[in-house]
C-alpha cells in the first residue's frame, strides 16, 4: 500500500510540473515530406512535441497560442556560424587591441539576436579560447537566451595557414596558453590537437584543409594539410565519436578532405566536377556561405581590411555561387550555413534568397536549414515538427514558399517549448516570452 501511495505521489508531482501548450497553425511546413498542411494543432508537453494533427482535442488547462494566420515551420538551423564574433571596428583594432574578454561580453548579445531571428540551433565553427563552449554551457543552463549550440572550439590549422597569425613580423607573437592556438602539424600533432579540443568541450572538429579569404596568406585555396594529416584528423575525431568538417575553398583540398571522410565541406568555392562526384559518392554535405560576399564587398573596405583580402573575396564570391548551383543541380547534399559573424549575427536568413537564386526550390532551401541541417549536426530531435521532436518552432506572416525573403522577418520563436518572441500576441494577452535567468 505504501509503495502504491508513493507511486501515486510521483505521478501527481510529474503532472503538476507538466507544462502543456497548444499551437494553432494556419499552415504548417512539413519538412520531412516537403508538403504544407492546413489548420494543424501542435500539442506540446514541456520541451517536446506530443502530437500534431487537424482533429486533435485541446487538453484541459493548456496554454493556447494562436498562429492561425501564420505559416509555421521548424526552428531554423545554421550549420556554420561564429556567434562569439562580429565585424564591429577597424581590422587591426579588432585583431590586436581586443581580447577574448571583449568577445565574451558581446557574445550573449549575438546569441539572443540569432535566436530571435528564428535560428533555434547552430553549429559554431571556431572560437578563440573556447568561448563558444562557455556560451553553449550558459545557454544550456538557462542563464542566457540563445540557440542550441554544437561547438568546434579551436579551429585546427597548420603553421602559417588560415588558422594561424600570418603576414606579420616574426617578432609578433600571441601568448596563448599551451595548445590554445589550434595550430598543429604532422600526424601526431593533429591527433593531439583533436584530443585537446575534445577535452575542453568540442562537439565537432573543424580544420583548415585549404587557405582562406579573410586572412593574409597569399593563397585562397591551396591545400594546407597533407592527405595523411587530414586522414589522421578525421580518424582521431571518429575515435572520440565526433564528426569532422573542413574549411575548404580550393579544388584539390576539397577532394582531399572528402577522401579523408569529413561530414561536410565548408565554403566549397572552387569545387569541380570530380569533387562533386566524390561528395555524392561519400554522402558529404556542402555548406556554402553564398550570401556574405555582398556584405564583405560593401563593408570590409570601410573596416580597414587589407586590399589583399578584398582581392581574394573578388576572386571567390561569384565563382562560389556558380559552383554551388552546379553542386545543387548534381544532387550533392546541401545544408544551410552562412558564416554569420563574418557579417552581423541575426542576419542569417538573408542567405535563403541566394540559395533559391542559385538553384534550390524554396522548399529545398528550407529543408537545407531544417531536416538536412539537423542530420548534419547530429541533433536528431530538431529539424521537423513531429511527435517526439523538440518543440523548436517558428512562424512567419507571409508564405516562404512564395516569398523566401519572408524568413528574414520571423514573428514567433519557440525553443524547447519556451516562447522567446511572439509578435502575434493580442494587445491584452500576457507576455510569456522567456529571457533567461534574472
| Three-state secondary structure call for residue 244 | strand
Asked if the structure places residue 285 within a domain, the reply is: yes
Largest CA distance in the chain: 80
Task: Count the alpha carbons within 13 Å of 80 in the hemisphere toward its beta carbon.
Answer: 30
- What gap in Å lies between CA 135 and CA 200, rounded to an integer? 13
Same structural domain, 96 and 218: yes
Same structural domain, 64 and 129: no
Asked if 38 and 25 touch (Cβ cutoff 8 Å), the reply is no
- What gap in Å lies between CA 261 and CA 268, rounded to an integer? 15
Same structural domain, 372 and 396: no
pLDDT of residue 137: 98
- Residue 340's nearest CA partner among 93, 180, 126 is 126
- Residue 338's nearest CA partner among 385, 289, 392, 404 is 289
For the chain, the domain total comes to 2
Q: Give the residue ranges of the chain where pLDDT is below 70.
A: 1-16, 173-179, 427-433, 435-438
Asked if the structure places residue 369 within a domain, the reply is: yes
Same structural domain, 100 and 156: yes
pLDDT in tens, 30-81: 999 999 999 999 999 999 999 999 999 999 999 999 999 999 999 999 999 9
List beta partners, residue 372. Answer: none
DSSP structure class, residue 314: H
Same structural domain, 69 and 80: no
pLDDT in tens, 179-213: 678 999 999 999 999 999 999 999 999 999 999 99
pTM of the model: 0.94
Measured in degrees and rounded to the nearest 5, phi and psi for residue 312 equal: -65, -40
Same structural domain, 355 and 409: no
How remote is the C-alpha of 86 from its chain's centroid? 15
pLDDT of residue 281: 98
Same structural domain, 388 and 362: no
- What gap in Å lies between CA 140 and CA 134, rounded to an integer? 10
Query: 338: exposed, middle or buried (C-beta count within 10 Å: 0-12, 13-18, 19+)?
Result: buried
Q: What range defines the domain where residue 68 resides?
A: 19-75+384-422
| Three-state secondary structure call for residue 293 | helix
By DSSP bridging, strand 264-267 and strand 244-248 are parallel
Query: Given CA atoms 90, 96, 98, 101 in this order, what sign does their dihedral have?
Result: positive
Same structural domain, 157 and 65: no
Asked if the structure places residue 6 within a domain, the reply is: no
b/e sequence 65-94, b meaning 16+ C-beta within 10 Å: bebeebbbbbbbbbbbbbbbbbbeeeeeeb
Same structural domain, 215 and 290: yes
List beta partners, residue 44. Answer: 21, 49
Other CB atoms within 10 Å distance of the CB of residue 319: 15
By DSSP bridging, strand 35-45 and strand 20-30 are antiparallel
- Residue 400's nearest CA partner among 29, 1, 23 is 29
Asked if the structure places residue 12 within a domain, the reply is: no
- What gap in Å lies between CA 237 and CA 191, rounded to an integer? 8
- What gap in Å lies between CA 182 and CA 200, rounded to an integer? 12
Asked if the structure places residue 427 within a domain, the reply is: no
Same structural domain, 330 and 408: no
Same structural domain, 149 and 288: yes
Radius of gyration of the CA atoms of the chain, in A: 22
What CATH number corresponds to the domain at position 256?
3.20.20.140
Amino acid at each position: 500500500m505504501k509503495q502504491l501511495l508513493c507511486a501515486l505521489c510521483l505521478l501527481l508531482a510529474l503532472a503538476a510540473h507538466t507544462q502543456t501548450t497548444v499551437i494553432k497553425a494556419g499552415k504548417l511546413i512539413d519538412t520531412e515530406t516537403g508538403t504544407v498542411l492546413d489548420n494543424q494543432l501542435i500539442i506540446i508537453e514541456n520541451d517536446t512535441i506530443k502530437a500534431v494533427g487537424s482533429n486533435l482535442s485541446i487538453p484541459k488547462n493548456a496554454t493556447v497560442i494562436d498562429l492561425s494566420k501564420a505559416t509555421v515551420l521548424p526552428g531554423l538551423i545554421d550549420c556554420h556560424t561564429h556567434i562569439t564574433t562580429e565585424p564591429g571596428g577597424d581590422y587591426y583594432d579588432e585583431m590586436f587591441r581586443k581580447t577574448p574578454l571583449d568577445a565574451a561580453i558581446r557574445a550573449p548579445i549575438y546569441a539572443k539576436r540569432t535566436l530571435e531571428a528564428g535560428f533555434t540551433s547552430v553549429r559554431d565553427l571556431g572560437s578563440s579560447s573556447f568561448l563558444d563552449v562557455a556560451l553553449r554551457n550558459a545557454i544550456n543552463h538557462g542563464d542566457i537566451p540563445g540557440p542550441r549550440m554544437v561547438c568546434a572550439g579551436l579551429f585546427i590549422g597548420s603553421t602559417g595557414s588560415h588558422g594561424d597569425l600570418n603576414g606579420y613580423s616574426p617578432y609578433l607573437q600571441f601568448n596563448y596558453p599551451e595548445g590554445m592556438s589550434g595550430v598543429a602539424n604532422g600526424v601526431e600533432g593533429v591527433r593531439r590537437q583533436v584530443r585537446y579540443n575534445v577535452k575542453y568541450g568540442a562537439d565537432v572538429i573543424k580544420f583548415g584543409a585549404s587557405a582562406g579569404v579573410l586572412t593574409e596568406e597569399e593563397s585562397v585555396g591551396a591545400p594546407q594539410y597533407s592527405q595523411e594529416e587530414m586522414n589522421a584528423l578525421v580518424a582521431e575525431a571518429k575515435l572520440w565519436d565526433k564528426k569532422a568538417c573542413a574549411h575548404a575553398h580550393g579544388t584539390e583540398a576539397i577532394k582531399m578532405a572528402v577522401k579523408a571522410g569529413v561530414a561536410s565541406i565548408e565554403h566549397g568555392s572552387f569545387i569541380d566536377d570530380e569533387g562533386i562526384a566524390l561528395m555524392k559518392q561519400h554522402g558529404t554535405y556542402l555548406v556554402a556561405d553564398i550570401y556574405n560576399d555582398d556584405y564583405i564587398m560593401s563593408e570590409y573596405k570601410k573596416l580597414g581590411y587589407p586590399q589583399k583580402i578584398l582581392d581574394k573575396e573578388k576572386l571567390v564570391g561569384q565563382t562560389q555561387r556558380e559552383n554551388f548551383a552546379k553542386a545543387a543541380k548534381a544532387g550533392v547534399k546541401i545544408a544551410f550555413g552562412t558564416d554569420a559573424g563574418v557579417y552581423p549575427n541575426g542576419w542569417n536568413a538573408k542567405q535563403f534568397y541566394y540559395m533559391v537564386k542559385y538553384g534550390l526550390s524554396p522548399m529545398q532551401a528550407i529543408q537545407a536549414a531544417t531536416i538536412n541541417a539537423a542530420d548534419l549536426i547530429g541533433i536528431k530531435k530538431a529539424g521537423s515538427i513531429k511527435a517526439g521532436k523538440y518543440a523548436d518552432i517558428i512562424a512567419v506572416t507571409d508564405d516562404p514558399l512564395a516569398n523566401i525573403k519572408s524568413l528574414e522577418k520571423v514573428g514567433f520563436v519557440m525553443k524547447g517549448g519556451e516562447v522567446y518572441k511572439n509578435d502575434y500576441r493580442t494587445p491584452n494577452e500576457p507576455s510569456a516570452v522567456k529571457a533567461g535567468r534574472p
